[in-house]
Amino acid sequence: ETGVTQTPRHLVMGMTNKKSLKCEQHLGHNAMYWYKQSAKKPLELMFVYNFKEQTENNSVPSRFSPECPNSSHLFLHLHTLQPEDSALYLCASSQRSGGPQMEQYFGPGTRLTVT
Amino acid sequence: AQTVTQSQPEMSVQEAETVTLSCTYDTSESDYYLFWYKQPPSRQMILVIRQEAYKQQNATENRFSVNFQKAAKSFSLKISDSQLGDAAMYFCAYRSVIQGAQKLVFGQGTRLTINP
């Protein structure tokens, strides 16, 4: 379970705060993902990065700003969030190439509460 | 766009018995991958089993097996000899085989409780 790590595990922030979520993968993968998991809703893909380049933005509001400085690290910068943004944010990584072996490995998530 | 539906928000089973979790999906593609993921309380989501749509044979992984009905677009998960450690949220997911496709489409999840 240490292949993909996320910090912090829990975060409480006010609507005017700026904070960042961090994800690190130790699996040698070259693709990384951010997902949002809200209660009673399916996991929603937010962003995809391949070889540090953003390749998918799933219509995410600009108050969420991702950053991928290298293939092992992924950040999600948060500012001016709304209470409805409270959720579990999951990071995942995989190999970029296709095929069933392109399994996504998930981190434990950051539980975000916006007050 | 593809959709995945899990119609059972919660299920419970007695330890050592068998339980089946349901999943249906909608797609116009003829080839794709299907997955079941397990998310234990406060722990990481892990892959339980995968199925490639072009394979007719149902996938099995130890006590976990699937019933893949392609025409019906159904992909259920059977857990045999349920154990306390099987308690978790279970998510069904779909992925296209289109070159470069990476997006997983998830269902809403089923919370499985194991009664001792």
What confidence tens digit (pLDDT) does each residue in B42-59 have?
A: 889 999 999 999 988 999
Tokens read off for A103: 């399994």
Tokens read off for B115: 């009664």
Question: Dihedral of CA B73/B47/B80/B107: which sign?
Answer: negative
Tokens read off for A70: 């290298």
Nearest to B44 among A43, A56, A107 (CB): A107
Tokens read off for B31: 């080839």
- Looking at residue A37, what is its pLDDT? 94
- Looking at residue A63, what is its pLDDT? 96
- Looking at residue A55, what is its pLDDT? 85
Whose CA is closest to B115, among B12, B20, B11? B12
Which residues on chain A place their C-beta less than 8 Å from a C-beta of chain B? 1, 4, 31, 33, 40-43, 45, 48, 50, 55-56, 90, 94, 96, 98, 100, 102-104, 106-109
Distance CA B80, CA B96 (A): 29
Helix, strand, coil share (%) of chain B residues, nearest 5: 5, 55, 45
Give the confidence band of B98 by pLDDT, cuts at 50, 70, 90.
confident
φ and ψ at residue A46, rounded to 5 degrees:
-105, -55
Distance CA A101, CA A103 (A): 5
| Contact assessment for residue B24 and residue B115, using Cβ atoms and an 8 Å cutoff | no
Dmax over CA atoms of chain B, in Å, equals: 46
Are A42 and B47 an interchain contact pair (Cβ–Cβ within 8 Å)?
Answer: no
Separation in Å, CA B30 to CA A94, A104, B60: 24, 22, 22
pLDDT by position in tens, chain A (length 115) = 579 999 999 999 999 889 999 999 999 998 999 999 998 788 999 999 988 888 888 899 999 999 999 999 999 999 999 999 999 999 999 987 655 567 899 999 999 999 9
φ and ψ at residue B46, rounded to 5 degrees:
-130, 150
What is the separation, in whole angstroms, between the first and last Cα of chain B? 41
pLDDT at B99 over 70: no
DSSP assignment of B52-90: ETT--SPPEETTEEEEEETTTTEEEEEE-S--GGG-EEE
pLDDT in tens, B56-91: 899 999 999 999 999 999 999 999 999 999 999 999
- Looking at residue A82, what is its pLDDT? 94
